[in-house]
Structure 1
Amino acid sequence: MNRLVILCFLLVIFTVNAQQQTRLPLRDYFFETWNTRSGLPHNSINSLAQTQDGYLWVGTWEGLARFNGQEFKLFTRSEITDLPDSGVRALTPTSDGGLLIAGARGGISLYQHRQWDTQPNAQAMVNHVFKSKNEDLWLALENDGVFYRPAKSTQDIPIIQNVSAYRIIEDKQGTIWAATSDGLYKIVNYTATLMTPHHGLPDAPVYTLLITREGRLVIGSERGARVLNGNVFESPHPQLSAESISSLLEDNHGDLWFGTINKGVFRLSVDGIEQLDAKNGLPANRILSLLQDRENSIWVGTNAGVFRLREAPFSSWGKKRGLSSDYVRTVLSHSDGSLWIGGSTGLDRLQNNKITQIKGTKQGSPYSVLSLLEQSQGDIWVGTYTSGVLKVVNNELVPYLNRDNGLGSNEVRSLLFDSKNRLWIGSAMGLTRVNTDGSLDQFTNEKELPSGFILALSEDKRANIWIGTGNGVVVYNTQTDKFKPIQFPKAFSAKYAFGFYIDDKYTWMATDRGLLRYQHSNGHMTILGRELGLPVDKLFQIVPFKDSLWLSSNRGIIEVNYKQVNQLLDSATKGSQTLAFQLYDEGDGMLSAQANGGSTPSATAHSDGTIWFATAKGVSTVKPARLKEATEIPLPTIVESFSVDGKPMLLPVDGDTLVLPPGVTRLSFHYAGLSFIMPQRLNFQTKMKGFNDEWVDRFHIATAEYTNLPAGKYSFAVRSAYPNTDWQQNDKVIHFEIQSHFWQKTSFKLVVFFIFVVVIYSAYRYRLYRYKQVEKELTSRVVKQTQALQEQASAFAYQATHDQLTDLPNRRAFDGWLADNFTDFKARNTPLAIAIMDIDHFKRINDGWSHLIGDQVICEVANILKAHCEGEQEVARWGGEEFTFVFPDMHTVQAQQLCEQLRKEVENKDFSSIAQGLSVTVSFGVSDSDNVDDYDRLLSRADQALYKAKNNGRNRVECIAS
């Protein structure tokens, strides 16, 4: 009977659509935990919610926290006006984008449009609050029961009294259900009825409720979970019939999640029931809240912090999941849909998520597997570390060839069956070919090979055999029966060749200096290495998948776009382009970022659309389609703060215009893309309409600053995008207006002009009336007045092009100079170098001392720069703590030397007169105009060099040479 109940429940709850969706086993989720060390105010997570704008909200006993993917912003009684206590018990999003917050002392507040609207307090602690369809506010109170507050009323009307109410919910028919210490109440037309054990309920308190998408009521009680089936409550699973259930969730697959009092989390799906507890990664077994966000991550609130289960790009198999070894060297995709995984202590076959260990030992010890190969008939051949070549026969490893019967070495790192069905064996002592008649041919570094250490073998479409060694690559021509060495250019410094990928035009080689491309038509070689943006030197394996190349390395897995790599390698001006790549590591679900190489295949694409990589901690797999799905999720963009001359401003409501006083010199915007899957990889663009109508790339930088904007109306816009995707239509816009000084207003200018005309006219009339001598005198006065007006105009022009704090030229002056002169320098073929300088850790100076001290530091640094810039060299304040330099008639090297002198001057300067213990350093980014066609690109390269200096430790000069 129990089995029938379970089957019926699963068939009803988990719809056909939900069954068709792919789901991960709990063990394949990527786990992350946040607690007080991460910025939370308290570790007990009473409630979790996500509002329509994309923010995640966390309610704790010590306040409310808002999470944007990278940091928590804390709200306490000081921010939430009139909330009687910082203890937040319940969070409920509203249908119009707001958030209801209920506190431990009965306080209720509504957060909407960035403003707090405090509601009348309830008479006791609010365990839950929500708005019904008719806008009534329902309250579940500790010890006092269930109350409702009619719309547009402040009076709380009791429905159930003298019990502890924990949660209230409304079903599709408008029935209100209340979970209380007495059990489950059904409320119809404001009349409550207690549901009894006669209905299938346990005689125990009910803690939580859920209405599924199918409209079914699920309850969690002190003695198990129940689902309403008709008029009777039934247990969804025997294992859940007696557990103390504290929270419930239905995810996007239709699976049910059950948080318990002391046994962690259970998930019930068509695949059965799974449990996740403190032994398997949870910070604690007491679950207080559950939430699934819009990116389909599961958030678990415990009494030891927030825990997230995320469908990470990568999942891993290791010894805990049945592999013979955690140290995996090779992985092979078989034509029958299985995967073969070889490691330091044996060989395994993975099929249908089940591991089968292949039998076979040498003197009682398992074989250490280095390489794998599938023959055309489906047979598996195995290269080992110390036992030569084996073959799998009836799921058992059987010796085939070793040093005792003709193999050059027992260390076999690569195997290949060529088109003539000859077996090629790459070992540590050369190359062995097993002919179809069983005879052996040996090739060594004494004659045919540049090195006897063979790492990789591959056959191209012309039946040529490509051989990767510890000292370059050689190709065996099957028609001439000769070996032809492929000479790596000395400039590449490449030596080891770990793997091949051969397409119609190129042979791609994974080497110890990057990705090398060999063109079949002319033998021309190019290399994608660190110089072109690759984050590592050494690559092991190349796996093509659709429009990408996946590269394994010691620092993780790198994804690059095949077309963009070719464009970059084909470009004559390689330095003007940037490699777009994604580097995946432990933060993306890998147990170890150290992918293994030196044996083949160490990575492979599988028939189910996954890619597998051998690593130092198991075999890791990624499904690129899942990555693409993640980037198609709508990505909200938020402007989080806006400051004027260092003072925070209240952000305007959408559509409103913020009016700023005259004389504003610095505007700062801090923004975020609300992605919790890959927040650190998001890219941003900003635009200041009214100043520059073009989108400006900010890359990963989440701040934008503007200085000395003239009076007028502006619109600041920001948008975000996932890596390697198009920009979404998610612009966030802030409208503001900078007011004019009275002398800047048109009316004032008209009055001045009118007065001026009147004075001129009067002078003219007076001149006609007086003698010629008086006429000369008046003419002289007019000249003097005209000169005075010109001087005033010059003063205004000076103010518009100079920074008020340092009296240096400002960004406008610098941009104007560069725009006016760049073309002339290019036309004369005269070098021009620029530099961007940034004061290191300037925020620490402002935070540690004060903004006044920060301004003094800026002035002192400006004085140093002015004192050491000579001749036609120009220095300007770029904005904030950034300065720019122009070095006419100089290349990068000369400008770098001058910047190094300036860096030392600042580093050696004694700033103790400004503040005790204060020391200041600066970082420079330098570039020149060689091979640059426009000054924006010149600035971009200098900016990239500055980021390089920052990333390399600051207090240094970095350059991007042409």
Structure 2
Amino acid sequence: MLLLTVCRYRVYVVICLLSMLLSAALFAADDDIVSLDNYFSESWSTVHGLPHNTINAIAQTPDGYLWFGTWEGVARFNGRRFDIFERSSLTGLPDSGIRGLSITANGDLLVAGSRGGIARVSGQQWHSYPPLGVLINKVMVDSIERLWLATEGEGVVMQSPDGSRQQFTEDNGLPANAVQSLFEDSQGQIWVGTAGGLALIDNDLQVSQPFAAELNSPVFALAANTEQQLLIGTERGLYQVDHQHRLSLLLADVPVATLLPEMSGMLWIGTVDRGLLRLYKNQLEQLSIEQGLPNNRVLALLRDKEHSLWVGTNGGVFRLRDAPFTTYTTEQGLADNYVRTVMSDQNNCVYVGSSRGLDQICDGIISNIDLSSHAKGQSVLSLAKGQQQSLWIGTYTDGVLHYADGAVVAHYRSDDGLAANEVRAILARPDGSVLVGTAQGLSLIYDGQLSTPVAATLLPSPFIMALHQTRDGRVFIGSGAGVSVWQDGKVRQLDFTGLDNAEYAFGFVEDHAADILWMTTDRGLIAFDLTTEQLALVGRRHGMPFDKLFQLVIDQQQHFWISTNRGILRLSRQQALDIVYGRRDRIHYELFGESDGMASAQANGGSSPAASLHSDGSVWIATSVGASKVQPTRLSRFSAVTPPVVLEKLLADGKPYLSAQHIKLAAGTNRIELEYAGLGFIMPQRIQYRTMLEGFELDWVLRGTQVNVQYTNLAPGDYHFYVAASYPDGGWSPVAASVSFSIAPHLWQRPLFQLLIVLLVAVLIIAVVRWRLASLKRSELKLKLQVAEKTAELAALARLDSLTGLANRRAFDEAMQHELKRARRQQQPLCLALLDIDHFKQVNDNWSHSIGDEILKRVAATLQQHCRDTDSLARWGGEEFVILLPDTSLAKATEVCDRLRMQVADTSFTEVVPDLTITLSIGLAMLDSNDDGKQLLIDADRALYQAKRQGRNTVVSQDVPH
């Protein structure tokens, strides 16, 4: 932080700005104040959708939208998108330049700016006022509903609720006609900041100039502090008026553009050319371009409902907010930003090893541990706690150091017998010995002596990245080619071949409660049961977003925190256990990155430990830009706020409608699309939604982060749509946004018309019956022929599945008997495949049985299209199909089935359900010479079950002699 070093003395107030270190110490001592360097900052500009980078005004309406006034229109922000409103028939504004925004007592938004344009926004409705014809700098509605307008050259204009206007200029006593600011005090008086000084319009509308001698410079900003003392921001500094109407100088020689006082007593000050200032308890901090502010000219300030601070500058919008993660970098005093290892001492300190040294962070204070006398590069790769509070330090090029009592007490290098000088893992054992994992194998230090406990040739790879010893003495060695177990002088390797070909093992965590050793690898999270030695993988097929996982930490709330190259994953420990033991097949996770306070989402791995749990419950992670920490208990703060939700758009067959009214749609309306937004700005990309269309759906439908929903082919009738929003782990919106609409019926869908049709049909039936009876007497022979034809058709239909049009089970049984006889007679192979649609129950549960039926028909059509002419395809029942493949070897049948599987997987179901992918699991068996056909079905069913167990979307063949 840069500290504004202005120190002035005046009669009433003494402001002496201390040095940066003193200021930081004072802020750190105050639990209610977060130092500016611990805020997470973000910025938006025209690149992100703003119409102009100069932000003249900021406001937040009660519905939750943020509004930004710019020279090219007013921008409405929902957290993800800017909607621009400029000069148009909708707004009624004479020009797009917006200078002032203000919220009225009833929650309406006032918009004012160039050419005297004035508009009031209520919901989605715009109402414009007759323009003044001159630039309006500020707009305000006072406590008795009078509209006040500060103009550039024509003084102040007051508009009464009846529409009449009164003007105040220099002729009425203003210091100047160029007015920059307006403020209503607790007595209902209007303070006016002009280019020539300060004016007061009292309750009798009389104008005076208090402090005319002291304030003869432009007044840009007016506000009141918590004690209702007037604050005056001028070109020459910041002033305050106390309750005895005495004027005092708070800050001198600071051109103040805007003010934001807060209930805590904190005062935010936007300046003309010096960035953003924060004044609290006589301490001043500054944020400028050097610290990331887009521009040093600050024109607008707003604290939103989620307690974020929005700053309008000449270079775009800037936001300061609290974030889940705090990151320590070189700016806070780290030796280097490229952090390879972090380790808690389980007291008050955390050790941070980086590419340029070792730091100790105790209670937020960073101190460097100088290793230069023993490590030339001071590049630290690994850490471990030794006995009697000592520290073992592994380096990149200088071997391993033993550090105790503030000094290096021992140093081991390759010249001393260490396997290599690149040390990536250290294990301090209970017996006082220390295992050292290097890039060239394993070394043991005991009583100061070096030895090689395991020959490098016995390891799958000598490149060791992680070490762990369990309570029963087994030592697990993580390397670049898997995991080895060293016990009782013997080494064996764990078999990862069935675990998605995992190789690199980056870290170990022992889960004592579950008696499991968790391993982070390059193919996901591997669980090793310490009792049965069974292995299980939680990986991509279970929903994990990445293959490569570096370090796992189990927090005090029983969540997993896992570092990766692409962010930090948080998932439930219980869910991971449920997957390991087959109780569920999908994992749910949260992914944290730069938007959550991390300087970089890229965590570092390949050294140990790359993440650590501190004694206060916080999780520390080594990243490519600093050491990041998160306090899991604080996450509830970010989900405690329930974001309001709004309906932004309703489209019926592409035509937009306002959602604030009951909408009557024409008959034949086919496609209804609704767009909505949760107006939360802390984690907008993580806001979850649920919707319900009353009249079509019986319960809420979870939409995840989807911000729109579509309905097609709705029947005529009345509908009511609801949408609610929440942050992850937070509550749903107490008041759902809603809109009602109705679809008119066609003429033939109206009850009266349908009644007439029924009557007409009845008359026609009677006429037809009479004609038919007469015709039967004349055409008895013809009728018998027709009956015979119909009977044949019904017999054919009895052999078909009514939904898919495929052969049914009866027809398949006949075909199977025929093929069995032919296979035995001609000594030809016969294969049978059972096909099952994966996760089909979820289709029915999530999108209804009608959608499920459509999926079945499309899958059946795809199978029928790509089956061979010689094969017999039938629907076996439910979501299962069966295929007989005569004169086909098991290998050829496997090829045919795999082709069918891929054809189904590549089939698009977008017209039914967007982004839906359907896959098949296929079990395949071949007829045995002594089989009567029943065993063939049993073998295929067993193979299908094996395909399900192997993860689905696969073909498994079973060729077992009986």
TM over 0.5: yes
160, 169, 174: which one pairs with 1:150?
160
The partner residue of 2:551 within 531, 541, 545 is: 541
Q: Residues 286-321 of structure 1, C-alpha deviation per residue, up to 9 Å, x if partnerless?
A: 111112222222222112222222333333222333
Deviation at 1:400? 2.8
- 1:872 positional shift: 8.7
Matched, 1:623 2:638: no
Q: Where does residue 913 of structure 1 map in the other structure?
A: none
Residues 743/75 of structure 1: CA separation in 2 closer, same or farther (3 Å cut)? same
Alignment partner of 1:51 out of 61, 72, 76: 61
1:423 lines up with 2:434 in the alignment: yes
Classify 1:461/1:871 alpha carbon distance in 2 versus 1 (closer, same or farther; 3 Å): closer
Partner of 2:96: 86
Structure 1 residues 153 and 923, CA gap change in structure 2 (3 angstroms): closer
Aligned to 1:802: none
Structure 2 residue aligned with 1:177: 191
Where 2:331 maps in the other structure, the secondary structure is helix
Q: What is the CA distance between 1:551 and its match in structure 2? A: 0.7
2:242 matched residue in structure 1: 229
Q: How does 1:591-740 map to 2 (within 5 A)?
A: 591-653=599-661, 657-740=662-745
Q: Which residue does the alignment assign to 1:861?
A: none
Stretch moving more, 484-493 or 517-526? 484-493
Q: 1:361 aligns with which of 366, 372, 390?
A: 372
Could you tell me which of 832, 835, 843 is aligned with 1:831? Answer: 835
In 2: Cα distance, 1:271 partner to 1:552 partner: 42
Contact 1:833 1:889 in 2 (8 A): no
- What amino acid is the match of 1:687? M
**Structure 1 residue 535: Cα displacement:** 1.8
Secondary structure of 2:105's match?
Answer: coil
Say whether residues 1:741 and 2:761 are aligned partners: no
Task: Give distance in 2, aligned partners of 1:364 and 1:871.
Answer: 71
Cα drift, residue 82 of structure 1: 2.9
In 2, Cα distance between the equivalents of 1:867 and 1:564? 35
| TM-score, scaled to structure 2 | 0.77
One-letter amino acid of the counterpart of residue 633, structure 1: V
- Alpha-carbon separation, structure 2, partners of 1:817 and 1:564: 38
Q: 1:82 to 1:370 in 2, by over 3 A?
A: closer
Query: For 2:84 and 2:248, how far apart are their aligned partners in 1?
Result: 40
Task: Indicate if the aligned counterparts of 2:58 and 2:301 stay in contact, CA closer than 8 A.
Answer: yes
**In the alignment, does 2:314 pair up with 1:303?**
yes
Q: How far, CA to CA, are the matches of 2:659 and 2:338 in structure 1? A: 53
Change (3 A) 1:665 1:24: same
> What is the CA-CA distance between 1:56 and the residue it aligns to?
1.0
1:167–1:179 CA contact under 8 A, matched in 2: yes
Task: Determine if contact 1:358/1:397 at 8 Å carries over to the other structure.
Answer: no
State the Cα deviation string for residues 36-65 of structure 1 (Å, max 9, x = none).
232222221111111111111111111111
Task: Name which of structure 1's ranges 247-256 and 284-293 shifts more when overlaid on structure 2.
Answer: 247-256
Superposed CA deviations along residues 804-832 of structure 1, whole A, max 9, x for unmatched, are xxxxxxxxxxxx9599999999x999635
Identity %: 37
CA shift at 1:236, angstroms?
A: 7.8
What SS does the aligned partner of 1:831 have? strand
Secondary structure (helix, strand or coil) at the match of 2:663 reads: strand
The amino acid across from 2:393 in the alignment is V
Return the match for 2:919 from 927, 931, 940. Answer: 927
**Residues 442, 22 of structure 1: CA spacing in aligned structure 2 closer, same or farther, 3 A cutoff?**
farther
> 1:496 Cα deviation (Å)?
2.3
Cross-structure match for 2:202 = 188
Partner of 2:827: none
Instruction: Give the distance between the partners of 2:306 and 2:403, measured in 1 at CA.
Output: 44
Per the alignment, residue 572 of structure 2 pairs with 561
SS of the counterpart of 1:492?
coil
Contact 1:402 1:410 (8 Å CA) reproduced: yes
Q: In 2, Cα distance between the equivalents of 1:538 and 1:57?
A: 42
* 1:755 Cα offset (Å): 7.2
Q: Against the structure 1 CA distance between its residues 19 and 234, is the aligned structure 2 distance closer, same or farther, given a 3 Å change threshold?
A: farther
Q: Give the Cα–Cα distance (whole angstroms) in 2 for the partners of residues 517 and 305 of structure 1.
A: 49
Seen in structure 2, the aligned counterparts of structure 1 residues 523 and 304 have a Cα distance that, compared at 3 Å, is same
**What does residue 358 of structure 2 align with?**
347
Q: Residues of 2 paired with 1:552 and 1:630: CA distance? A: 21
Distance 1:924 1:608, change over 3 A: closer
State the distance in 2 between where 1:271 and 1:433 align.
58
Q: Deviations over 1:801-859 (max 9, x none)?
A: xxxxxxxxxxxxxxx9599999999x9996355999xxxxxxxxxxxxxxxxxxxxxxx
SS of structure 1 residue aligned to 2:699: strand
- Please, which runs of 5 or more residues in structure 2 have no aligned partner? 1-7, 19-25, 776-801, 814-831, 841-857, 868-878, 884-895, 924-950, 956-962
* Paired amino acid for 2:563: S
**Deviation digits for residues 725-752 of structure 1 (CA, Å, limit 9, x no counterpart):** 4544342211111111233222333455
Amino acid in structure 2 at the alignment position of 1:503: D
Q: Which moved more, 1:499-508 or 1:615-624?
A: 615-624
Q: Which amino acid aligns with 1:306?
A: V
Structure 2 CA distance for partners of 1:282 and 1:427, relative to 1, 3 Å: same
C-alpha separation in 1, matches of 2:119 and 2:610: 57
1:392–1:651 Cα change, 3 Å: same
Return the alpha-carbon distance in structure 1 between the equivalents of residues 399 and 866 of structure 2.
68
Task: Tell me the residue number matched to 2:420.
Answer: 409
Distance 1:94 1:923, change over 3 A: closer
C-alpha offsets along residues 608-633 of structure 1, whole Å, 9 cap, x if unaligned? 44322212222222333343211211
> In the alignment, what sits opposite 1:400?
411
- Trace 1:469-548 onto structure 2 (pairs within 5 A): 469-477=479-487, 480=488, 485-504=493-512, 505=514, 506-545=516-555, 546-548=557-559
Alignment length (residue pairs): 817
Return the alpha-carbon distance in structure 2 between the equivalents of residues 822 and 135 of structure 1: 77
Query: Structure 1 residues 824 and 597 mapped into 2: Cα distance closer, same or farther (>3 Å)?
Result: farther
Q: Distance in 2 between matches of 1:235 and 1:548?
A: 55
Aligned counterpart, 1:318: 329
Look up the equivalent residue of 2:569 and give its one-letter code.
I
The aligned runs of 1:431-450 (5 Å cut-off) are 431-435=442-446, 437-446=447-456, 449-450=459-460
Q: Note the alpha carbon deviations across 1:372-409, whole angstroms, 9 max, x for none.
A: 22335323321112222223355444543333334332
Q: Supply the AA of the counterpart residue of 1:193.
A: S
Q: Equivalent residue for 1:374?
A: 385
Counterpart of 1:169, as a letter, is: F
Q: Deviations over 1:238-272 (max 9, x none)?
A: xx422101012235755321111111111223593
Change (3 A) 1:397 1:322: farther
**Map of 2:296 onto structure 1:** 285
CA-CA distance at 1:868 after TM superposition: 8.7
Cα-to-partner distance string for 1:647-673 (whole Å, 9 max, x where unaligned): 1122234xxx21111111111112222
Amino acid at match of 2:603: A
Question: 1:445·1:451 contact (CA, 8 Å) conserved in 2?
Answer: no
Q: Which amino acid aligns with 1:55?
A: Y
Which residue is equivalent to 2:268? 257
Letter in 1 for 2:398: S
Residue pair 1:419, 1:463 contacting (<8 A) in 2 also: no
User: In structure 2, how many angstroms separate the alpha carbons of the residues matched to 1:834 and 1:363?
Assistant: 60
Q: Does 1:168 align with 2:182?
A: yes
**2:57–2:101 Cα contact (<8 Å) kept:** yes
Q: Which amino acid aligns with 1:249?
A: L
- Contact 2:551–2:605, Cα closer than 8 Å, also in 1: yes
Conservation of the 8 A alpha-carbon contact between 1:18 and 1:253: no
Residues 896 and 718 (structure 1), Cα distance of their counterparts in 2 relative to 1, 3 Å cut: farther
> C-alpha distance in 2, partners of 1:821/1:633?
57
Tell whether 2:136 aligns with 1:126.
yes
CA shift for structure 1 position 233: 6.0
Which of 111, 115, 125 is matched with 2:121 structurally?
Answer: 111
After superposition, give the CA deviation of every residue in 1:313-344 in whole Å (9 maximum; x if it has no partner): 33322233322222211112234412221111
Mapped to 1, the partners of 2:142 and 2:754 lie a distance apart of: 60
